[in-house]
Chains A and B, each alone.
Chain A
Amino acid sequence: MTKIYKTLIAILLAAAIAVSCSKDVPVDEDGLLITERQECFVSNFELLGSDFVTVRAAVPVIDTTAQTISVTVLFGTDLKNVYPQFTLATDCKLDPKVTGRTDLSDLANPKKYTVVSGNRKIRKEYSLNIKFQ
């Protein structure tokens, strides 16, 4: 009798473990967690030069409705070799990814960056407008 009880308990334990370890974790193609957040905006923007010191002349003006970021850069900034840094809402990601040195020297055609919300359903395209001091 005791032997039957022991095997039954062992089977139940194994079943419980198997079930508890198969939770579904939603992850997108970059390995980032997909949450339920719908917020999708840029909260801050920083631009660093080749020496990793800021080249912004003033605080950037971010218009969330018009979806533009207006930055004034210091006189003599070399825009071919800058490092942009976006601060996004919680769980958002940026498309295209900023991988390092970026060329933002084409002032007539402002570069566009898309912010994707936490639940990956909302996409907003921001336009980066740069002008010199």
Chain B
Amino acid sequence: MHFITKNIAVLVVFSTLLFSSCQKDEYVVPDPVSDLTNDCIKRTIGPNIVSLPIEFAYAMAIPKSKGKLVSAQVEASIAGATGTYLEHRSFYTNTSGVDVPVTVGTPSSNEGKATKVSFSVDTTAATLRYFYVIPEEARGQSVTFTFTATSSNGQTVSYKMGPYTIAKMGIKKNIAVSNGNVAYISIENMVAYNAAEAAANASKVDLVYLYRATPTTFTHALVSPGAESAYLPGVTLPSGVNRSSKVRKVFNLQDRNLANLQFGIYVDDKDLQEVDLTDAPNYALGLRAEAGTWVETADKKYKAYIFLNSINANGSAVISMLRYAL
């Protein structure tokens, strides 16, 4: 009996300790903003490629009693290319799901590295989008951004974003190729030539686009000019076009920047640096839409990823490529 009562006492003591130590703190509503404050997020993801934009959303707010917003400014460490702007409208989504703009300021002006918007209506809170078009000077460099907001009571706040590394890769989208016509692809110039232009730029032509209905497995193909004649059926190459590039077929790699489909996969500098094509063939046959190829040029100057956006049964296709200088 004595033994049992002693155990119960110990049990009771321990359980009360347990329950009392698990008390949650009461929820306290956070203090509202009492001064001009700001916040910023980067909206684009994936590698930062020259000529593509980096998008930010910059939010600023001030209590109504203190004043209103006067201006917003963004300064980039490397001046943005043409097309860089700070949105002067605020957006809201209406009942039909459409984003409707409301003009809150004057259109932005770019002065050197800074982009500025002055508010033209009485606003105490706004979120403005900033689109920075990556310039050629930023290739391979780091870029930082300083977002600043000023209010009518003289306050200024700023928010620093970055540093962001800009990729060394180059991008070219939607190059149209067609069998027997504009079929000579140059990786160095990221363009497709017809026979006459190919002869003029013979040392830069890396691949030939072909379409053959027989054999049934040939269909759309990217073949090096220097490949065996069996893989270039009925093709007369312009004079001097004879380079042999390494080509490896890939499937299911729909890079977001090239394909703009629902897949969130990106090819970055590192992928192009590390892909090993030493024992790859110099042709790729039977390519379907959304197929891709890793390519290394004959002079080992460039590695590229070529993506087939679409194909047509009449013997044409649209390709896009990412190119990396080795």
A and B from one complex: yes
Question: Which A residues touch B217, using CB under 8 A?
Answer: 57, 74-76, 133
From B218, B249, B279, A51 is in contact (CB under 8 Å) with B249
The reply on A80 being an interface residue by CB < 8 A is yes
Most interface-central of A51, A52, A57, A75 (chain B CB within 10 A): A51
B248 touches A50 (CB 8 A): yes
Instruction: Tell me, in angstroms, the Cα distance from A81 to B221 when the chains sit together.
Output: 18
A50 touches B249 (CB 8 A): yes
Name the residue of chain B whose CB is nearest to the CB of A101.
B279
Name the residue of chain A whose CB is nearest to the CB of B217.
A74
The reply on A78 being an interface residue by CB < 8 A is yes
B280 touches A81 (CB 8 A): yes
Given A50-B249, A51-B250; A81-B215 close (CB under 8 Å): no
Per-residue 0/1 for A43-81: is the Cβ within 8 Å of any B Cβ (1 yes, 0 no)? 000000111110001000000000000000011101011
Instruction: Tell me, in angstroms, the Cα distance from A80 to B282 when the chains sit together.
Output: 12
B280 touches A75 (CB 8 A): no
Q: Is the interface of A mostly helix, strand, loop or mixed?
A: loop
From B249, B252, B279, B285, A80 is in contact (CB under 8 Å) with B279
From A57, A74, A76, A81, B283 is in contact (CB under 8 Å) with A76
Chain A interface size, under 10 / 10 to 19 / 20 to 34 / 35 or more: 10 to 19
The reply on B251 being an interface residue by CB < 8 A is yes
Question: Which B residues touch A76, using CB under 8 A?
Answer: 217-218, 221, 231, 283, 285-286
Most interface-central of B221, B281, B283 (chain A CB within 10 A): B281
Chain A residues near B (Cβ < 8 Å): 49-53, 57, 74-76, 78, 80-81, 133
Apart from A76-B286, A81-B280, 5 more pairs, CB < 8 Å: A50-B280, A51-B250, A53-B249, A76-B218, A76-B231
Show 28 A/B contacts (Cβ-Cβ < 8 Å), sorted by A. A49-B249, A50-B248, A50-B249, A50-B280, A51-B249, A51-B251, A51-B252, A52-B251, A52-B252, A57-B217, A74-B217, A74-B285, A75-B217, A75-B285, A76-B217, A76-B218, A76-B221, A76-B231, A76-B283, A76-B285, A78-B281, A80-B279, A80-B281, A81-B248, A81-B279, A81-B280, A133-B215, A133-B217
